[in-house]
Structures are given as C-alpha cells and as structure tokens.
Amino acid sequence: METEKAKTALAAGEDAWIRFLQQRGLRKTPERLALCEAVLATEEHFSAEDLYELLQREARFRVSRATVYSNLQLLVEAGLVVRHQFSNFSSVYERMDRACGHFHQICTNCGAVIERDDSRLRSQIREMCLNRFHAASYSLYIYGVCSRCKRQMAQKNKANKKTKK
C-alpha cells in the first residue's frame, strides 16, 4: 500500500511539474524530467550540490551544475520543493509534501538539523489554517544547541574553571 501511495505521489508531482513548465512556456526537456524525478524520490534534506552529484551518478546524460541550480529554483516556484535557510549555513532543500510532516530543531553552534514529528502539533496547525485561508505549506524551526554541543560547552567551562584556580 505504501509503495502504491508513493507511486501516486510521484506521478502527481510529475504532473504538477509538467503543468508548471507549460504555464511558464518552458520546454519539457529530459534533464528537467530527470531532475524532478530525482527530487521526488528523495527522503531527506539535500543541497543543490548533493542533487548535482546524484544526477552525475544516476542520470543517463550529463546535467550541468547551472541546470541543476536554475531548475531547483523553478521547483521551489512550482511549490514542489521547499528551500530551508537553517541559521547561517547554506540553503538545503526538501520535498514539499515531506517538509509539512515534521518540524526542525537547529543547532546554532554546529548546524545540525534534527527532524521531529508531533502529530498533535500538526493537527493543530491544520485546524488553525482552516480559518478562511488556503494553506499550501508551513515550516517550523526551533533554534537552540544540540546535546553534543551542550556537552562540549560544559566540558570547556569545566576546563576553564580548573585553569583559573
């Protein structure tokens, strides 16, 4: 069942992409289709560079870096992909339908991003959005310090205190 669902989601995403390209008067090139397909199959955050490298390995033809970057921007405009700007680190991307299923905890020290799911919070947001508003997506970022960095900071503090004595 899950794979069936995934298949329909993939087909719906590809349809939306093709419709978007037509509306913009852009050509439906094999590169654009492969790019969309690769993105719709991802199950994690990715950078433009990750996508470029994936296509170098898996696509049956060469896709330039410039093509990847410009089409990623188009996928964002088409509403299929979300661009995250976690703290000062470079942009990461995520499939739109996936991004709505969780929120992000971001460590401002090391940049680690932890995905968290909270079904209660999700249904609250859904109910909230029903009020005369058509919600397409949402993102929730919680900034702080991850447990690893917290531990390291505590150790440093301890060491500093010792040398002062």
Binding site for Zn ion (CB under 5 A): 94, 107, 109-110, 112, 115, 146, 149
Distances (CA, A) of 47 to 26, 62, 88, 161: 24, 19, 14, 40
User: Computed from CA positions of residues 2, 49, 114, 96, in that sequence, does the dihedral angle turn out positive or negative?
Assistant: negative
Pairing mode, strands 81-84 and 92-95 = antiparallel
CB contact set of 96 (below 8 Å; sequence gap of 6+): 79, 80, 81, 82, 136, 137
Task: Please identify, using beta-carbon distances, which residue of 55 and 100 lies nearer to Zn ion.
Answer: 100
Nearest approach, Cβ of residue 133 and Zn ion (Å): 23
Nearest approach, Cβ of residue 162 and Zn ion (Å): 24
The 10 Å Cβ neighbour count of residue 31 is 17
CA–CA separation, 93 and 142 (whole Å) = 17
Task: Please identify, using beta-carbon distances, which residue of 21 and 51 lies nearer to Zn ion.
Answer: 51
Task: Please identify, using beta-carbon distances, which residue of 69 and 143 lies nearer to Zn ion.
Answer: 143
Task: Please identify, using beta-carbon distances, which residue of 67 and 152 lies nearer to Zn ion.
Answer: 152
Nearest approach, Cβ of residue 145 and Zn ion (Å): 6
Nearest approach, Cβ of residue 66 and Zn ion (Å): 26
